Amino acid sequence: MNQSKGPKGKQAQFAANDVGRKSSGYLAVNHLEFQKMRETNMPTNNPKSSEFNMKPISPLNLEDYYKEWKGEEHQVQRKGTITQKPLIHKDRKTLILSLILLLSALAGNSTIGIFFLTIDETAPLIRAAWRLLYLVIFMLPFAILDYRRNKHNMYVTLTPNSNCMKMILVASFGQCLWTSCNSTSIQYTSIAHSETIRFAFPIIPVILRALYGKTPSKLEKMAGLAIIVGGTILAFDNDFTTYKYVDLNNVGFFTRLIWGDLMAVFSGVGGVFFFTYYHKLIREMPIYLGTAYMSFASFIMVAIVSLIFGEANLGFNDEMGIFGGLAPKWLFIYILFTVITGFGAFVSAPQAAQQFGSGLVTMIMSINPIISIFLIKVLGWQGFPSALGTIGILLMLPGIMILSHLKGEEEQAENDLIPEIGDRTYSYYISQVDERS
């Protein structure tokens, strides 16, 4: 029986994607658990461990030892990767904290459009750029902590390599669309229209896969049909009740359709790139450091577009300056905006997904449009949708929830196969015995 060689030196910093492709040759175990396994004298075949010279054990035996030591149910992939489904902790304090994080994520994602609505004295692209600028500032302390905590960890990527750079650029392009198109959309249509349409983005990958010859499942077909029919009905709804900020009754039907609803569609397209590649990125880099890189790139993109179209200048003017959001006039609202939405989207949501699983969390997040509709009504800025609009939203929402759940399950499966190496789960890759001989 030949034993495969383990990683040496800088070669140990191979990407998680490579691990996924070679998962038949490696076992992944969380490093904290691995340390405990060593402390409890559990045999391993890590080439750097003191037990490496012990008699080699087969992967199946290693899995059995691991299960017995852990005392919990684990899902074992066919290719030999040890994985663990997220478990809801039985500890009451942990469960309460997890629920608070989940509610924080809901609040953060449900209020982005509402905050944009309050900043009505500037062009949509400028306020989008300011939102990203504050997000970079907000994430900077977390990113520095991430860097300091992991600078001696050879298994974590801190400086973007070519693979990470591609992910950052694609994710930041998606974030640019997600943010700037949302900021534009709420200027011409209601919060109900904008939020419902843009959160229907899980239908886009289903459509793309169908165009490339992959037949959607029956559940995907039903959910997609509900979204398309509901969205069509919603597009013909032109009866709005507004009390503050934008008077939508003075917006023409086609103007609202193109600059309002269609911009929300483009925001959703951006959301596909944003969330897909953001999740890939934080498997390669610590989450806060990766978020800071991505948000900075998004800010540069939106700033360049604003300058090209003449909506902004390179100054601190509180109406047209790229850095005008730092003016005292906007300081309070943008700090509040960034703390609520930044913490909810980039801190609370990933932590909640760790506890409850991506499938459940993404499905719960899909009710954000409903929360936004009620919040805007409670604030007294816009009324509830008309009867036609309500029918469209009620048709779309179940489809959005189903596709969001399925998308979350796919992400969870990827996380199980390719362990995250962000700030919460650094993975050590243990060489596996080659059973071919």
Residues 161 and 300 in one domain: yes
Structure tokens at 123: 């062009």
Residues 134 and 99 in one domain: yes
Q: Is residue 354 part of a domain?
A: yes
Tell me the per-residue pLDDT of 273-315, one tens digit each, with 9 for 90 and over.
Answer: 998 899 888 888 888 899 999 999 999 999 999 998 877 888 8
What gap in Å lies between CA 283 and CA 365, rounded to an integer?
Answer: 21
Residues 268 and 380 in one domain: yes
Residue 141: pLDDT band by 50, 70, 90 thresholds? very high
Full domain range(s) for residue 68: 9-87+425-431
Check whether 130 has a pLDDT greater than 90: yes
Residues 167 and 153 in one domain: yes
Q: Is residue 244 part of a domain?
A: yes
Residues 71 and 192 in one domain: no
DSSP state of 327: S
Report the SS3 class of residue 386: coil
Burial group, residue 305, by CB count within 10 angstroms (0-12, 13-18, 19+): middle
Report the SS3 class of residue 383: coil
Q: Is residue 4 part of a domain?
A: no
Residues 165 and 218 in one domain: yes
**Domains in the chain: how many in total?**
2
- Name the pTM for this structure: 0.74
What is the phi/psi pair of residue 428, to 5°?
-100, 135
What gap in Å lies between CA 377 and CA 385, rounded to an integer?
Answer: 10
Residues 51 and 184 in one domain: no
Residues 150 and 50 in one domain: no
Burial group, residue 96, by CB count within 10 angstroms (0-12, 13-18, 19+): exposed
Is-contact 209 216, C-beta < 8 A?
yes
Tell me the per-residue pLDDT of 344-370, one tens digit each, with 9 for 90 and over.
Answer: 777 788 778 777 878 888 888 899 999
What gap in Å lies between CA 361 and CA 25, rounded to an integer?
Answer: 32
What is the phi/psi pair of residue 384, to 5°?
-65, 155
Residue 417: pLDDT band by 50, 70, 90 thresholds? low
pLDDT in the model for residue 157:
79
What gap in Å lies between CA 110 and CA 345, rounded to an integer?
Answer: 10
Q: Is residue 350 part of a domain?
A: yes
Burial group, residue 377, by CB count within 10 angstroms (0-12, 13-18, 19+): middle
Residues 145 and 171 in one domain: yes
Q: Is residue 2 part of a domain?
A: no
Structure tokens at 177: 């669309």
Check whether 373 has a pLDDT greater than 60: yes
Please give the biggest Cα pair distance in the chain. Answer: 79
Residues 53 and 137 in one domain: no
Check whether 57 has a pLDDT greater than 60: no
Q: Is residue 3 part of a domain?
A: no
Residues 69 and 101 in one domain: no
Residues 144 and 69 in one domain: no
CB atoms within 10 A of CB 159: 10
Helix (H) / strand (E) element for 407: namely: helix 387-417
Report the SS3 class of residue 305: helix
Q: Is residue 323 part of a domain?
A: yes
Q: Is residue 179 part of a domain?
A: yes
